């Protein structure tokens, strides 16, 4: 049976647990209590002799391993945009979100880059028919859930709401059992953030 290692509050852990739930596969969890809200040390997936330390690679491996054939669109152009949106979300949106949790104000260039990526994410979600069971949805929804939970210390939930369809799609994706039932406790996320800020 596959094993998943990492902090219980890590976003990458939540993402991969959501994938395991979606493909209806059990996983042995080895989770620790290190704070992992502002900065993700990364989940590690062990499946027999295979060891993966990149959560995106692990997600695609699990999709192939367990027959999740519609993880991505059957259209090659949309499929490429989905993968690009996943990478861009982690490259531009997440670092800015984490900076906001540290109390850092967004400069104009950063805000523009984030809004550009969110606009593209909205367009790609539209191209998929707003599927909530896609790899794109399961990848971004756990992050959007944290943005909602931490809206009192970060403006990102409000930014997501600037696109009604995007916000509605992410809310629906976050509400599905594969995401909602595999994440950390909300209070634990707040406590982890407080611990990280006081360190």
Is residue 169 domain-shared with residue 85, that is, in the same domain?
yes
81 and 137, same domain (yes or no): yes
Q: Contact at 8 Å (CB) between 184 and 146?
A: no
Residue 161 has pLDDT above 80, yes or no: no
Based on the fold, state whether residues 27 and 50 are members of the same structural domain.
Answer: yes
pLDDT the model gives residue 77: 97
pLDDT at 113: 92
Q: How many domains does the chain have?
A: 2
The reply to whether 9 and 101 lie within a common domain is no
Mean pLDDT, the chain, integer? 90
Q: How do residues 27-76 score in pLDDT, each as one tens digit? A: 999 998 765 555 567 899 999 999 999 999 999 999 999 999 999 999 99
Q: What is the pTM of this model?
A: 0.91
Tokens found for residue 16: 């991969």
Claim to verify: residue 149 and residue 165 sit in the same structural domain: yes
- Whether the per-residue pLDDT at 154 is higher than 90: the answer is no
Instruction: Work out the average pLDDT over 157-166.
Output: 82
Q: Report phi then psi at 36, rounded to 5.
A: -145, 55
- Is residue 63 domain-shared with residue 154, that is, in the same domain? no
**Structure token pair of residue 139:** 């990848």
pLDDT for residue 194: 62
pLDDT recorded at residue 37? 53
Mean pLDDT to the nearest integer, 78-103: 94
Over residues 6-23, the pLDDT tens digits come to 988 899 999 999 999 999
Whether residues 166 and 87 share a domain: the answer is yes
* Closest C-alpha among 97, 102, 195 to residue 148: 97
- Please give the average per-residue pLDDT across 157-168, as a whole number: 83
Please report the pLDDT score of residue 159 as a whole number. Answer: 83
How confident is the model at residue 156, as a pLDDT? 86
Same domain, 83 and 152: yes
The CATH number of the domain holding residue 156 is 1.20.1050
Q: What is the pLDDT of residue 163?
A: 76
Please state the rounded mean pLDDT for residues 103-119: 91
**Residues 131 and 137: beta-carbon distance below 8 Å:** yes
**Domain membership of residue 30 as a residue range:** 3-69+182-198
Q: What is the mean pLDDT of residues 128-148?
A: 95
My answer on whether 65 and 94 are in the same domain is no
CATH of the domain at 57: 3.40.30.10
96 and 124 share one domain:
yes
* 51: phi then psi, degrees, rounded to nearest 5: -130, 120
Query: What pLDDT was estimated at residue 34?
Result: 67
């Amino acid at each position: 049976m596959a094993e998943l290692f990492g902090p219980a509050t890590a976003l990458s852990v939540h993402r991969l647990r959501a994938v395991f739930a979606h493909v209806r596969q059990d996983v042995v969890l080895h989770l620790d209590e290190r704070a992992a809200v502002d900065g993700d040390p990364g989940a590690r997936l062990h499946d027999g002799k295979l060891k993966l330390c990149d959560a995106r690679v692990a997600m695609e491996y699990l999709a192939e391993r367990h027959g999740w054939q519609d993880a991505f669109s059957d259209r090659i152009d949309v499929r490429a945009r989905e993968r690009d949106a996943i990478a861009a979300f982690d490259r531009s949106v997440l670092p800015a979100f984490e900076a906001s949790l540290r109390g850092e104000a967004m400069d104009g260039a950063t805000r523009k880059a984030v809004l550009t990526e969110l606009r593209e994410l909205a367009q790609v979600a539209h191209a998929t028919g707003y599927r909530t069971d896609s790899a794109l949805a399961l990848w971004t929804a756990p992050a959007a859930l944290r943005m909602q939970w931490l809206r009192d210390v970060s403006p990102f939930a409000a930014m997501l709401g600037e696109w009604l369809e995007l916000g509605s799609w992410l809310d629906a994706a976050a509400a599905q059992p594969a995401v909602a039932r595999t994440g950390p406790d909300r209070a634990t996320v707040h406590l982890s953030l407080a611990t990280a800020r006081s360190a």
